[in-house]
Amino acid sequence: MALRNIREMGDPVLNKVCKEVKEVTPRTRELIQDMVETMYEANGVGLAAPQVGILKRIVVIDCTGEDLLVMINPKIIETSGEQTGGEGCLSVPGKSGTVTRPNYVKAIAYDENMQLYEIEGTELLARAICHELDHLDGHLYVEKVEGELVNVSEEEDYEDFEDWDE
């Protein structure tokens, strides 16, 4: 396992559409392990493969520090409601902005064994799923920010939406 460099806004890799994963190879598993390690090291609640320079449809999310979610080829199949709150991104360090997202999300994804599963999330998890899946299509939350991006202190954790919820 190894930490990987997190790409920052302005890096063209963050604006590309990622490719579907056809099979989980040892390299894919290594990538996922590295993404998990990199996310935890950065105190993030989520990380998408393009953020470490890999154009594959893989995200990892952990909103609580004890519920790691590995999502391969994820798709949102249902949303409802609305939440408006603060959001940040490890690829946009030092910034935060207000984004409106669905308050409920149902998604399907494959796990590391390519088993299809369904996940439902509300509030922070719903927000994280939307945010990370946007990365897979080359979108950053800054495109959706209402008002201005604001500066946050360096001590705050990036991609840690919870701290910034209103």
CB of 68 to Ni ion, least distance (A): 17
Give, as one character, the DSSP assignment of residue 97. E
Q: What SS3 class is residue 114?
A: coil
E-strand ranges in 53-159 read 58-61, 69-80, 83-87, 95-101, 104-110, 116-122, 146-151
CA angle 76–11–51, rounded 5-degree value: 40
**Is position 124 an interface residue for Ni ion (rule: CB under 5 A)?**
no
Catalytic site residue from 23, 30, 120, 132: 132
Q: Which of 54, 61, 71, 89 binds Ni ion (CB under 5 A)?
A: 89
| Residues linked to residue 48 through DSSP beta bridges, in sequence order | 59
- Return the number of the residue (70 or 116) whose C-beta is nearest Ni ion: 70
Concerning whether 132 is annotated as a catalytic residue, the answer is yes
| Contact range with Ni ion by CB under 5 A, out of 1-9, 26-34, 81-89, 109-117 | 81-89
Catalytically active residues are 132
Judged by the rule CB under 5 A, the positions of this chain that interact with Ni ion are: 89
